[in-house]
Structure 1
Amino acid sequence: MAISAPALWATPIRPDRIADPVIDRLQQARTILGLLAGVWLVMVYPMRKGREDFVLGKVENLMIGCAVLVTAGAVGITVFILAARPPLRRVYARRLVSPLAVLGVIALEMGMFWLMLQAVHGNILSFDDLNSRYYESRSSETGTGTLMVGVALGLLAFVAPIAYFLLMLAAAFFTLMTTFKALNSCFRVGDVHELLPGLLSPLLVWSLFFISLSDGPDVAAPPAVLYSFLLGGPLSVTALSVWEIRRLRTKYGMNLRTALAR
């Protein structure tokens, strides 16, 4: 149940939403292929930095990416809502709770990961300090109460690193799971309207593409491989979005004019 929680948070749940299983499967396949391509690139070519720096850099990029997604998505959704006729504006505005909830959950999970990472490094609670206090409490000059506190501190110094490490792994796992499902659903903007994932996905991925150009490559791969990897995501997302919008129009009669009641 706990493992399925990220999927529940990041999956569109509007009762009257039209869910096309073909679109959902293709979105999931696109995301999985993108992740596999990233893993392949890291496994085949040597990294330019250490593994810890690589992981921390990816977490930082994830946070920057979420900020870009929030900014670009907010602009796109605002334009969409303002372009709709007044009765629909209120309906769409009320449905914004879904994407905002996903962003809030991801922010909490990333915050927990960062907090536990700092704890593992000893930046929040120094284990050396706990150990020194424990050994001080064992001196003959201390009373029984101080001795009990020292024993408790000693146990804490032993258990806390393990607990922090496990919590850090759990936070990383849930962050990746929630982000994976959120990318499939374009952060649940489909709860606002079915056309929005197809309209916003190209805007989001191309924004991330231009930001990634300013960052150095993580692996020492040939330029042709790097640029093919960088362009593969935006181009595939754009092509799938065009097909998705066309399928919604031909199979379900949805288009931008009807969505805006124009």
Structure 2
Amino acid sequence: MTSPQGSWTGGALTARSFLKPHHVARAVFHPTWIPESLDPSVDALKKARVIAGAVAAFGVYTFVEGGFAFDEMLNNAATACVVLLFITPLTVGLMLYLWRRSGAGTVGQLREPLVRSLKLLLLFIGSAFGTVLVFRLGDAFGTLGGLLFSAIGLWLAFFVIAGAYRISGNFFGTAVVHRCLPPLLAAVTSWLMAIPDLVTGDLHGLGLALGFVFILGAPITVTGIALLEMGRLRSRYGIRLAAHPATLPPTPAPTPPPPPYAPNGFVPPQGNPYAPPAGNPYGPPQGNPYAPGPRNPYHPR
């Protein structure tokens, strides 16, 4: 599978865009070279996977800890970035090894999309660590410097949070390499984030039963949705995770949504249905029927 050509943002950013960090995050962390979802059902599963991960990462944690701690969120984001920095290349590298062993294609065929995905990974991790660094530097300066760094840090925080939402859906654009990689990476990452708590027995003071439900709820939910997503790709489009991207059938163009004015997806025929058709059979005949012909026998000579 080759990566489509085009610029990173597709010209979507303007000077006014930087007033809204989520607009910048959408352009930066969901570049134009990332392929769109094949159909609405796969896109709905992807959104469900993102929501399940977000609820597990923020909602449940906030409920268990009894409040939302901004510093704790920054530390967790930095930890998650370290995990992503190692687990994403490792998982993709394992799949490249399996695809190469199959003999159906080479790693060189995937070099360009792999490089683009790696750039997106490093860009997100750099943004997250940069946000943490800005907030830490704000404490080392006076009041004026602290206010300046706080303003920059808040902009970066909204930028990274919006970027994390985009990244959770496309998983660093790895769908441009293989469409099954984003759900696979989501499942692997969710399990790796839960394993340390299982190994150390850190159940967050919830007791054995509730602690295991809290820890295992996120990876089980994300994995179930990811398996369903990959099952849809396999059954509907013939896209299998074990198949080298070069051997996959060409994917059809994404189904465009119906126009917003069309009820139930029905698009009425275009044009005026009451207009007379071309060549009105009820109109007068063309030309003068009483004009003498070229050899009219009744015309006086």
With normalisation by structure 2, the TM-score equals 0.63
> Cα–Cα, structure 1 residues 236 and 45, in superposed 2: closer, same or farther, change >3 Å?
closer
- Look up the equivalent residue of 1:26 and give its one-letter code: L
Within the candidate set 68, 73, 80, 1:62 is matched to 80
2:161 counterpart of 1:176: yes
Alignment-mate amino acid for residue 30 of structure 2? T
Residue 188 of structure 1 is aligned with which of 170, 173, 186?
173
Paired letter, 1:165: S
1:137 match:
none
Instruction: State the Cα distance separating 1:112 from its structure 2 match.
Output: 1.8
Which of 103, 107, 110 is the aligned partner of 2:128?
A: 110
CA deviation after TM superposition for structure 1 residue 108, in Å? 2.2
**Distance (Å, rounded) in 2 between the aligned partners of 1:77 and 1:210:** 22
Superposed, 1:11-50 pairs within 5 Å as 11=30, 13-14=32-33, 19-46=38-65
- Of 23, 27, 36, the match for 1:4: 23
- CA RMSD in angstroms comes to 3.2
- Is the contact between residue 184 and residue 226 of structure 2 (CA under 8 Å) also seen in structure 1? yes
Larger Rg belongs to: 2
Secondary structure at the residue paired with 1:221? coil
Instruction: Report the Cα offset of residue 191 of structure 1.
Output: 0.9
1:27-176 equivalence runs, <5 A: 27-46=46-65, 51=69, 54-83=72-101, 85=103, 88-122=106-140, 126-127=141-142, 158=144, 160-176=145-161
Give me the whole-angstrom Cα distance separating, in 2, the residues matched to 1:212 and 1:175.
25
In the alignment, structure 2 segments of 5+ residues that lack a partner are: 1-16, 249-301
Take 2:203 and 2:29, find their aligned partners in 1: how far apart are those partners? 28
TM-aligned CA deviation for residue 164 of structure 1: 0.2
Equivalent-residue separation in structure 2 for 1:213 and 1:71 (angstroms):
24
- What is the identity percentage for the equivalent residue pairs of Structure 1 and Structure 2? 19
Count of aligned pairs between the two proteins: 228
- TM-score, with structure 1 as normaliser: 0.71
Once residues 236 and 116 of structure 2 are traced to their aligned partners in structure 1, the CA distance between those partners, rounded to angstroms, is 25
User: CA separation in 1, counterparts of 2:35 and 2:76?
Assistant: 37
User: Do the aligned partners of 1:189 and 1:196 also contact (CA within 8 Å) in 2?
Assistant: yes
Comparing 32-41 with 107-116, greater Cα deviation is found at 32-41
Q: Which gives a bigger RCO, structure 1 or 2 (Cα 8 Å, sep 6+)?
A: 1
| Separation in structure 1 between the aligned mates of residue 98 and residue 39 of structure 2, nearest angstrom | 22
For residues 5-62 of structure 1, the C-alpha deviation after alignment (integer angstroms, 9 at most, x for no partner) is: 22233336447666333222222223223323444434433459x9365234313322
Letter of the 1:227 counterpart: F
SS in 2 for 1:249: helix
* Structure 2 residue 217 is matched with structure 1 residue 232: yes
